[in-house]
Structure 1
Amino acid sequence: MYKLLLHIGFVLLYNLVIFFGLGPVLIADGSSAERLSTLAVVILIIAGLAAVHRILNRLVK
């Protein structure tokens, strides 16, 4: 039961990061450097979420 809640929570977090993170990358009217820096931050946040998700998934029975 806890694993299901964990997965649902992380799916919501991933979707929020992708929605609010990739929107500015795709639609922003800034320079290419600004878009790439935003993309790098979004990728780092997603990688961090994936690492935490993997750790918590191993800890939760």
Structure 2
Amino acid sequence: MNLIWRIFFTAAYLLITIFGLGPVLLADGSHTERWLALLITLGLYAVTTAGLRYVLYR
């Protein structure tokens, strides 16, 4: 069961990285738009990491 959780969270991290950091690095919008995308991406990383820690250390 632990392997399934690790695969799930690895996929989640990859999706957050591709779809979250892409707009931050490659967007041609305003700086406010980039900062907002960065804050949302960092929030998603924090929630995902908290979920991973909860699942692995319960």
Give the unaligned 5+ runs of structure 1.
none
TM-score with structure 2 setting the length: 0.93
RMSD: 0.8
Aligned residues with identical type, % of pairs: 38
Partners of 1:24 and 1:51 in 2: CA distance: 24
Which structure has the greater CA radius of gyration? 1
How big is the shift at 1:37? 0.9
Which structure carries more relative contact order (alpha carbon 8 Å, separation 6+)?
1
Counterpart of 1:11? Answer: 10
| 4+ residue runs over 4 A deviation | none
- Corresponding letter in the other structure for 1:32: H
